[in-house]
């Protein structure tokens, strides 16, 4: 899965950009919204659930969703930023849970054993 992430990400972002430039999307900057959400989902899929990804992935997704709401429905920055701050605080608390594993080192298995 890790070897296919970059090519798939390039295809998805390129297609979103092409469709945006062809004006096939409504008046929302879909490239940025989609890239943020897709980046968050991809991070969770590639890196798995760990103390780092459980914060970063949902933050990217939340930023993408609130950016869409700001562009489409006029959500102001005075609402978007506090919403994201509350989300970040909640995710940081979640990451402190002992049930969320630490980020594993490259070249190590889930059990901490060196990969061969």
CB atoms inside a 10 Å sphere around CB 86 = 11
- Phi, psi of 106, deg, nearest 5: -60, 140
> What pLDDT is attached to residue 1?
44
Helix, strand, coil tally for the chain in percent (to 5)? 65, 0, 30
Distance of CA 39 to the CA centre of its chain: 4
Segment holding 47, helix H or strand E: helix 30-47
pLDDT band at 98 (very low <50, low <70, confident <90, very high): very high
Q: Which residues are within 8 A (CB) of 93 and not within 5 positions of it... i.e. 6 or more apart?
A: none
pTM over 0.75: no
pLDDT over threshold 80, residue 60:
yes
């Amino acid at each position: 899965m890790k070897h296919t992430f970059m090519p798939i990400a390039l295809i998805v972002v390129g297609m979103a950009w092409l469709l945006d430039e062809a004006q096939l999307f409504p008046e929302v900057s879909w490239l940025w919204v989609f890239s943020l959400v897709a980046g968050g989902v991809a991070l969770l899929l590639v890196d798995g659930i760990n103390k780092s990804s459980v914060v970063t992935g949902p933050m990217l997704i939340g930023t993408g969703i609130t950016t869409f709401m700001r562009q489409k429905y006029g959500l102001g920055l005075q609402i978007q930023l506090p919403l994201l701050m509350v989300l970040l605080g909640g995710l940081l608390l979640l990451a402190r849970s002992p049930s969320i594993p630490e980020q594993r080192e490259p070249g190590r298995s889930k059990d901490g054993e060196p990969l061969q």
